[in-house]
């Protein structure tokens, strides 16, 4: 993603989000480089260091808004512990429990067979696989 302000504003608007000062500041930090995984606390620290005045609660709220708008993917690594992924392509993760690092791997590298039919006429929307390593 081009990180110019006009491109970020346009991307937020296309996702149905108003480009507020806080959203713009956090989006610049999130999308300024290659795809990455980030926790709310990390992004909050980065925002402080970059001079973006935003509370931790606002960081959490904004990350969840970005997920709902399809700009980020939430990866639950442990109960009550989530990372946010800027890579929206079809992929899975290794989670290193010693370093808390998430490592991407291609979804095509895994074959899932024997999946039961979804109940109540529902369809499987997506499979998110997190393989814990040490």
Pairing of strands 130-133, 91-96: parallel
Hey, how many other C-beta atoms are within 10 angstroms of the C-beta on 30? 23
- pLDDT of 5 higher than 90: no
End-to-end CA distance of the chain: 33
For 5-83, CATH number out of 3.20.20.80, 1.10.10.10, 3.30.70.20, 1.10.1740.10 equals 1.10.10.10
Find, among 111, 76, 79, 112, the residue nearest to 95 by Cα.
76
Q: Tens of pLDDT along 66-96?
A: 999 999 999 999 898 999 999 999 999 999 9
- pLDDT of 56 higher than 90: yes
C-alpha separations of 28 from 35, 89, 96, 105, 110 in Å: 13, 20, 27, 25, 33
pLDDT for residue 32:
83
- Give the domain ranges of the chain: 5-83, 89-133
Q: What percentage of the chain carries pLDDT values higher than 70?
A: 98
CB-based contact 29:52 (threshold 8 Å): yes
Hey, how many other C-beta atoms are within 10 angstroms of the C-beta on 65? 17
pLDDT for residue 97:
94
Provide the residue count of the chain: 134
Hey, how many other C-beta atoms are within 10 angstroms of the C-beta on 37? 20
């Amino acid at each position: 993603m081009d990180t110019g302000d006009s491109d970020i504003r346009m991307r937020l608007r296309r996702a149905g989000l108003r480009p507020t000062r806080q959203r713009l500041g956090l989006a610049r930090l999130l999308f300024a480089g290659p795809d990455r995984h980030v926790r709310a606390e990390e992004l909050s620290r980065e925002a402080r260091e970059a001079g973006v005045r935003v509370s931790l609660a606002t960081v959490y709220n904004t990350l969840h808004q970005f997920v709902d708008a399809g700009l980020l993917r939430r990866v639950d690594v442990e109960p009550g512990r989530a990372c946010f992924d800027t890579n929206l392509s079809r992929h899975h993760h290794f989670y290193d429990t010693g370093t808390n690092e998430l490592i991407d791997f291609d979804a095509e590298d895994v074959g899932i067979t024997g999946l039961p039919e979804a109940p109540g006429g529902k369809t499987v929307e997506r499979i998110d696989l997190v393989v814990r390593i040490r």
